[in-house]
A and B are shown apart, each in its own frame.
Chain A
């Protein structure tokens, strides 16, 4: 009609391209799914969730939920998920605190402190997390002495058998005590948990330190000087002038780091801590239900990521300075 052949028509071409790509993806997915169904039915493993109710037959070393080997797989996975959440929450708080301190240390007047903060960040960020977790578990926590020789700090005892913290027990404050050669305390953590936490906090803390440093550096120097000439001292300047402005830059960066923390917690396996992933792997080895186990894993981590994103987006709205 207008003389343009269809293969050069700009109204047709984009849709043609999309149709081709869409068709290719559809064919690929259909092929994969056919294979999946054929191979799974050949192995007698067609999708089913009944195994979740069968007794697990393995024990978990530390759980928030009471758990023993006669309880079902579903409960084992739930216990693993709770362990993962526990690690994420504590490591999130710890790494934020460490990151904030180190990030602010980058602006100290003290050259030595600045240098140390720099060295910490550069060393930790360039060594794989897995290696660091193995280091903390095998070389630090498992090398701790036990019994009377254990490392004793005020309110905290570090021993090979576990970490013992002071806390409220029976209405009164109690520190760790040595009873018959073994430590007792209101709060006890396993060395596996301690190693995982230490590793995650130091690793993510270094990244958060960079986020905080970048945020503070993004506040123009004139803001510090103006606050100083108004008579505010250092801490007050930071608290009232600089941090509110820096937070606008810091919070989006923090969101990324928190999500990568949640994903990094899946390396708990390396220090023998039973998180969701390690329970899932044991479950797979016992039941052979690879597809279902992976679906559970993906759904759980996706939910955690979305939860963190949603919470941080809320925080982000709070810290955005409303300009006219």
Chain B
């Protein structure tokens, strides 16, 4: 290893001619050149093998036949319109938020005021291509393909409308729009689970990606407030609260998730009176929530530690009481610092939902394993594993990307210039 290259120091190289630049990157010395050649050969070999398999030997029928099973599990066919409706609402809300975020005035971007900045153009083209090509490639029925097109169209249309007319809206209206997400979340639970006039669909019938997303979002939404409370408790001056929080956090963090899920499935029944016996899915959801809360608490605690003590004291001396000072001054700053770690925990949470398949729930992985066990699809597990890996990877990478974008927007330097 020679002098290391630091990303920030590559500027002079970037100014060179492309060929020279390539040489500086791949073969600064003879040894590096040989290494690069070896690596290139390895990459080419892997690409040829993978490409040959994907085009030649892979049989994608296993996906074409099971796409709905992977998406929603054994959700009753007659009630699936509710999921499509929810999908359309989510697409609408996502498009609206996307457009408004872009329209929101900001000081840190050259693309200020553009309706479709470069990244958005790329994203829009990708979404269009995905909606047009993927359902067709899977050989879905015409009606289903049409629904996917409709979802993409709703998303992009609202993105356009919000970007076009968003800047003219009053700021208070914009803030109200933020409240739509929790409302939509509750509406989503109603649409999925039924009740109140809709036919009930028991949690045992949710499956596939739907169950994975429901579990992950449920645990995220509830573990967040719990985690903040636990972090505050751990830093409290009151010994009982402090030691209680410490004991809880360390107990949860000391045990593997699978043993906690095991407790949820095998022991919770003994702890509760016989009249209350929650469904297996809900038991697992609560275990996930309580598990994530302990890890989130540690992330928030590191954020709280980063807020100078003077902030709290200044807020108190302005006449705010302890609770007001915490909620309006300390916690917002702590959360901003803790954001990257918290998103890391959320990503881990999405990955942890796969453990549900070990206790017999049919989440995305559980469903896929069920399909693989079907003799009809024997020998086609590679295709399923690949698709699963891509799906999980996209979910986690999207969370990571979103967090980095949010981090940039919450950076005090970019906030300072806001009108």
Give the interface of A toward B (CB within 8 A). Answer: 14, 17-18, 21-22, 25, 32, 35-36, 39-40, 43, 104, 107-114, 116, 122-123, 125-131, 134-135, 138-139, 216, 221, 224, 228, 233-235, 238, 263-264, 266-267, 269-270, 277, 281, 284, 290-291, 294, 297-298, 301-302, 305-306
Give A93 to B381 CA distance when docked, in angstroms: 31
Give A126 to B350 CA distance when docked, in angstroms: 10
CB distance from B188 to the nearest CB of A (A): 24
Closest to B36 in A: A112
Closest to A18 in B: B240
| Contact present for A134 and B270 (CB under 8 Å) | no
| Contact present for A126 and B240 (CB under 8 Å) | no
Proximity string of chain B (376-408) to chain A, C-beta cutoff 8 Å, 1 when within and 0 when not: 000001100100110011001100100000000
Pairs across A and B, CB under 8 Å, 17 listed:
A25-B244, A32-B272, A35-B273, A36-B271, A108-B1, A108-B5, A110-B25, A112-B35, A113-B36, A122-B397, A127-B389, A130-B358, A139-B382, A216-B4, A238-B1, A277-B259, A294-B259
| Contact present for B6 and A40 (CB under 8 Å) | no
Asked whether B357 is an interface residue with its Cβ less than 8 Å from the other chain, the reply is yes
| Contact present for A138 and B262 (CB under 8 Å) | no
Of B97-105, B122-130, B220-228, B250-258, the segment with at least 4 beta carbons within 8 Å of chain A is B250-258
Q: Which 3 A-B pairs have the closest CB atoms?
A: A111-B25, A107-B4, A126-B396
CB distance from B168 to the nearest CB of A (A): 39
Give A263 to B389 CA distance when docked, in angstroms: 22
Give which listed residue, B5, B262, B347, contacts A114 with CB less than 8 A: B5
Interface SS majority for chain A: helix
Asked whether B374 is an interface residue with its Cβ less than 8 Å from the other chain, the reply is no
| Contact present for A224 and B262 (CB under 8 Å) | no
Give A230 to B99 CA distance when docked, in angstroms: 55
With A126-B396, A277-B258 already in contact, the answer to whether A290 and B266 are too (CB < 8 A) is yes
| Contact present for A138 and B256 (CB under 8 Å) | no
Give A125 to B259 CA distance when docked, in angstroms: 23
With A126-B396, A290-B267 already in contact, the answer to whether A228 and B3 are too (CB < 8 A) is yes
B-chain residues with CB within 8 Å of residue A116 when the two chains form the complex: 39, 43
With A111-B25, A128-B365, A277-B258 already in contact, the answer to whether A40 and B270 are too (CB < 8 A) is yes
Asked whether B327 is an interface residue with its Cβ less than 8 Å from the other chain, the reply is no
| Contact present for A284 and B254 (CB under 8 Å) | no
Give A125 to B25 CA distance when docked, in angstroms: 26
Interface SS majority for chain B: helix
Number of interface residues of B (CB under 8 A): 60
A-chain residues with CB within 8 Å of residue B351 when the two chains form the complex: 127-130
| Contact present for B256 and A35 (CB under 8 Å) | no
Asked whether B308 is an interface residue with its Cβ less than 8 Å from the other chain, the reply is no
Which of B28, B270, B350 lies at the interface centre, i.e. has the most chain A CB atoms within 10 A of its CB? Answer: B270
| Contact present for B39 and A112 (CB under 8 Å) | yes
| Contact present for B26 and A110 (CB under 8 Å) | yes
Give A134 to B369 CA distance when docked, in angstroms: 10
CB distance from B415 to the nearest CB of A (A): 27
Closest to A235 in B: B1
A-chain residues with CB within 8 Å of residue B239 when the two chains form the complex: 18
A-chain residues with CB within 8 Å of residue B269 when the two chains form the complex: 39
Give A24 to B170 CA distance when docked, in angstroms: 46
Give A36 to B273 CA distance when docked, in angstroms: 9
Give A302 to B259 CA distance when docked, in angstroms: 12
Give A131 to B354 CA distance when docked, in angstroms: 8
Closest to B353 in A: A128
| Contact present for B26 and A126 (CB under 8 Å) | no
Asked whether B115 is an interface residue with its Cβ less than 8 Å from the other chain, the reply is no
Proximity string of chain B (352-370) to chain A, C-beta cutoff 8 Å, 1 when within and 0 when not: 1011011000000100010
With A110-B26, A130-B354, A298-B259 already in contact, the answer to whether A18 and B238 are too (CB < 8 A) is yes
Closest to A228 in B: B3
B-chain residues with CB within 8 Å of residue A290 when the two chains form the complex: 266-267, 270
Give A108 to B244 CA distance when docked, in angstroms: 47
Give A298 to B354 CA distance when docked, in angstroms: 21
Asked whether B32 is an interface residue with its Cβ less than 8 Å from the other chain, the reply is yes
| Contact present for A35 and B259 (CB under 8 Å) | no
| Contact present for A127 and B392 (CB under 8 Å) | yes
Asked whether B237 is an interface residue with its Cβ less than 8 Å from the other chain, the reply is yes
Closest to A39 in B: B270
| Contact present for A36 and B240 (CB under 8 Å) | no
Give A303 to B169 CA distance when docked, in angstroms: 58
A-chain residues with CB within 8 Å of residue B47 when the two chains form the complex: none
Give A135 to B362 CA distance when docked, in angstroms: 18
| Contact present for A109 and B32 (CB under 8 Å) | yes
B-chain residues with CB within 8 Å of residue A22 when the two chains form the complex: 240
CB distance from B275 to the nearest CB of A (A): 11
With A40-B270, A126-B347 already in contact, the answer to whether A263 and B257 are too (CB < 8 A) is yes
